[in-house]
Structure 1
Amino acid sequence: MRINTNVAALNTHRQLTAGSNAAAKNMERLSSGLRINRASDDAAGLAISEKMRGQIRGLEVAQKNAQNGVSLLQTAEGALNETHSILQRMRELAVQSANDTNTSSDRVKLQAEIDTLAEEVSRIGSSAEFNGKKLLNGSFDGTFQIGANQDQNMSLKIGDSQSYSLGVAGSVGIEQSSTVTAGTTTKGDTLKAGTYSVSDNGGVYEVKDENGKVVASSTTGLVFTTKAFDGAAGDDTFTFKQSVTSGTLSFDGTTVTAKASFTNSGLEAGTYTYQASDNVLLDAHGEVVARSGDGVKFMGSDGTQVFAATVGLTNGDTLKVGGADISTQAAANTSITAINTAIETVAAERSKMGAVQNRLEFTNNSLSTTAENLTSAESRIRDVDMAKEMMTFTKNNILSQAAQAMLAQANQQPQAVLQLLR
């Protein structure tokens, strides 16, 4: 019999420690609800579970992305619904104006409504936005991330639905400084009363008569020098206060007059003001819509020409862009087709948006189902089976209590040595 080493007590203590540790793990799992609380619980299971969690959380965000995409499309489509209504009204007015029971004054009033409606089409197209992003001015070319992984996305480009792009913006008219004049003398009688045209010939602006003969020229568009009948420089000049680089001139024998005309190649329906100090054209809200170096050719933000003038603008000149022309029977008849085309364009755009919206709604349902199934799979790996774990805890707890009792008995065994010492 040995008293220095109690092997039975050591063995019982080991069993007690193991049982206590096992019971402690059981309690940890029962209290957390997780089978894997640390990597040592199940290293492979933890790695698989974390990958699944990444997928699940990514799918949940993708659902939100799809829902936001639907909201964006609903916003854009709602705005186009109003554009459609306006275009239908414009078509009614064009059909009405095409009837010659209308007088000129009637058509003036019809044109005024068309102009106002065209401005509203432009306003809707320029102001419709979602989260600060413009939707209908042609700038929206976005990508919706509708999956949890790289490249699981879809793209959408929304067309320009403003008046010019739809073909319902009219020509540019000027409300101030509609003509410029220049005094002239005719010592050599090289310039006769009549009508002339101005054209750009490689940076030299030439004035031609009705027969196409060059009778004057200028390198600036301001000071024109006449030519004698033999083609040599004449004695006369006429000077404009504003540059004249194209268009027509009229001469009454004393004064040369240039009437301003414009080519619209991008201006939306609305009112604009020229600010000479910065050579910019401002819209009704004071925002820059075009820039010019000479007050004649104006470029948009993308570098393309939006309109050109035959007479250089002066500070404060106000330009007006109306709607489709219905001022005459012939013009109204032509505008019916133009407005029909605009209606079809908007209908096609709305149809595209509706298709994409339906796709996103189906995508959202698919993402929801996939996330649910992945969550169930991840739960089987990481979550604890409470019933099974409670059963194991009860077993380990009983074993721990039994080991504790047996340790007490094992500690009593060495006392039997005292009987030998009596």
Structure 2
Amino acid sequence: MLAIKNNLMAENAARHLGKSYDALAKSVERLSSGLRINSAKDDAAGLAVRELVRADIAVLRQGARNARDAVSMLQTAEGAMAVIDEILVRMRELAEQASTESYSGPQRSIMNYEFGQMAAEIDRIAKNTAFNEMKLLDEETETLQIHIGTQEMIDIVSDDMTAAGLAIGATKATGTYETWVADPDADWVTVTASGLLNITFADQEAIPDDYLIDVTFDSTFGGDGAYTMQEAADAINARSRAVRGYDAATVVQDNATGMYTIHIQAEEGGIWNITIAGDGALAAGSTIETAGNWNTANGSGTAVSIATAQSARTALDLVADAIKIKDGYRAQLGYLMNRLEAATSVIDIQAENLLAAESRISDVDVATETAALTRNQVLAQAGISMLGQANVMPQMALNLLG
């Protein structure tokens, strides 16, 4: 029907032109962004899946970076241990040289000085080897956990590579020492050690009078605070074996049931052990009444020296043991690096596969979308042409009126 009030053909052409224009705009948006899903209205379910996959990819990529950082950290530790390895070889060479008795005292002192300097350098390296301000080789190092994926962790168990940890310096002996005390004024035992000795006391109770322990130190106790231990010149009923090779001992105790700590500095060339023992009958007038069991965690507190041929022969075995300890931990670093590198490869593959899945969900198919763009361009051009023709129809009706 020919009409002049309502141009239905123009309305229809405009509606189709609008659809073609919207489709053309969508094709342009997808091709320009490279994404099939640019908003939730494009594909709500696909968008949800894509975001989850993207999160997993981000976690995996960060996990791979974590693993590579851990490898760098282990390489730092392993590099320091390579230097420690060279030092230990030199120390064993010096111990072998000093094991023979064909050297004079001054010559042996020179060897012993170098030996001590080598041990000190091991301490310096172990205590200063760090990654991101984290110590890697000293006694304070803890187990590190490396997170390498969404639910994956690898434990890096550290070890003490100081001279004490390698048992070639003053060691740290720790353990639990249970005491039963009859006289609260004095209650100590034989302690002969170099290094740091920690004794933790349990609840105390009285013991019979027929008890005797080896006595090396006398002490005074005046409540909380610090006090000093001194060598007993005439220890009553003490055994003849006394402490040798120490300069001084200081005890710090916060309270009667707290931590008991003794710091003893070894004389040059001394080799001696921690001993805690007790037997026999209590002597009259003795103020030392205690007994207990001692368990050391890090050896017997041996201070290594090559000042004598005998001590050098002992040092040979100790340095050999230190090399075994070092080799064991260095091997651990090696297989941890290999494991982390393998984990990194697996993570990279996982991230690649997830990226492919995310691409299939989210990326635009350029060929398909280009075809759609061409079709929509043609439809838009046709719509524009037809809209122009439809707008001419009312003018034809006016010609009839004229």
Q: Distance in 2 between matches of 1:45 and 1:20?
A: 25
Q: Does residue 247 of the first structure (1) align with residue 227 of the second (2)?
A: no
Could you give the per-residue CA deviations for residues 41-69 of structure 1, whole angstroms, max 9, x where no partner exists? 11111111111111112121111111110
Q: Distance in 1 between matches of 2:170 and 2:250?
A: 21
1:57 maps to 58
1:166 maps to 166
Structure 1 pair 29/399, CA: closer, same or farther in 2 (3 Å)? same
2:373 maps to 393
2:364 maps to 384
The TM-score normalised by the length of structure 2 is 0.71
Q: Does residue 21 of the first structure (1) align with residue 22 of the second (2)?
A: yes
1:80 maps to 81
Instruction: Structure 1: state its 5+ residue gaps.
Output: 173-199, 207-211, 223-241, 252-257, 264-273, 275-293, 311-320
Q: Distance in 2 between matches of 1:140 and 1:8?
A: 82
Instruction: Structure 2: state its 5+ residue gaps.
Output: 173-181, 189-211, 236-241, 267-300
2:276 maps to none
Q: Give yes or no for contact 2:40–2:47 (8 Å, CA) kept in 1.
A: yes
1:33 maps to 34
Post-superposition offset of 1:358: 0.5
Q: Distance in 2 between matches of 1:248 and 1:261?
A: 15
Q: Give yes or no for contact 2:251–2:260 (8 Å, CA) kept in 1.
A: no
Q: Give yes or no for contact 2:219–2:229 (8 Å, CA) kept in 1.
A: no
Q: Give yes or no for contact 1:118–1:168 (8 Å, CA) kept in 2.
A: yes
1:143 maps to 145
Structure 1 pair 420/348, CA: closer, same or farther in 2 (3 Å)? same
Partner SS, residue 21 of structure 2: helix
Q: How many residues align?
A: 321
Give 1:350's aligned amino acid: R
2:153 maps to 153
Structure 1 pair 170/59, CA: closer, same or farther in 2 (3 Å)? closer
Runs ≥4 residues deviating over 6 A: none
Structure 1 pair 357/244, CA: closer, same or farther in 2 (3 Å)? closer
Partner SS, residue 343 of structure 1: helix
Q: Distance in 1 between matches of 2:260 and 2:132?
A: 28
Q: Distance in 2 between matches of 1:67 and 1:304?
A: 44
Post-superposition offset of 1:90: 1.1
Listed as ranges, the matches of 1:227-242 within 5 Å are none
Post-superposition offset of 1:107: 2.1
User: Superposition RMSD on alpha carbons, in Å?
Assistant: 3.6
Q: Does residue 363 of the first structure (1) align with residue 365 of the second (2)?
A: no
Q: Distance in 2 between matches of 1:304 and 1:396?
A: 88
Listed as ranges, the matches of 1:11-410 within 5 Å are 11-138=12-139, 139-147=141-149, 149=150, 151-170=151-170, 202-204=184-186, 220=220, 245-249=229-233, 262=246, 295-297=250-252, 305=261, 307-308=263-264, 324-410=304-390
Q: Give yes or no for contact 1:249–1:259 (8 Å, CA) kept in 2.
A: no
Post-superposition offset of 1:401: 1.0
Structure 1 pair 371/171, CA: closer, same or farther in 2 (3 Å)? closer
Structure 1 pair 132/409, CA: closer, same or farther in 2 (3 Å)? same
The TM-score normalised by the length of structure 1 is 0.68
Deviates more, 1:111-120 or 1:347-356: 111-120
Q: Distance in 1 between matches of 2:305 and 2:327?
A: 22
Q: Give yes or no for contact 2:220–2:227 (8 Å, CA) kept in 1.
A: yes
- Identical residues among aligned pairs (%): 35
Could you give the per-residue CA deviations for residues 342-381 of structure 1, whole angstroms, max 9, x where no partner exists? 1000000000000000011111111122212221221121
Post-superposition offset of 1:202: 4.9
Q: Distance in 1 between matches of 2:148 and 2:263?
A: 41
Structure 1 pair 82/298, CA: closer, same or farther in 2 (3 Å)? farther
Q: Give yes or no for contact 1:167–1:338 (8 Å, CA) kept in 2.
A: yes
Q: Distance in 2 between matches of 1:106 and 1:298?
A: 43
Q: Distance in 2 between matches of 1:9 and 1:25?
A: 24
Could you give the per-residue CA deviations for residues 21-47 of structure 1, whole angstroms, max 9, x where no partner exists? 110111111111111111111111111
Post-superposition offset of 1:162: 0.3
Post-superposition offset of 1:328: 2.0
Structure 1 pair 306/2, CA: closer, same or farther in 2 (3 Å)? farther
Partner SS, residue 36 of structure 2: coil
Q: Give yes or no for contact 2:167–2:302 (8 Å, CA) kept in 1.
A: no
Q: Distance in 1 between matches of 2:70 and 2:260?
A: 31
Could you give the per-residue CA deviations for residues 217-249 of structure 1, whole angstroms, max 9, x where no partner exists? 987389xxxxxxxxxxxxxxxxxxx97634242
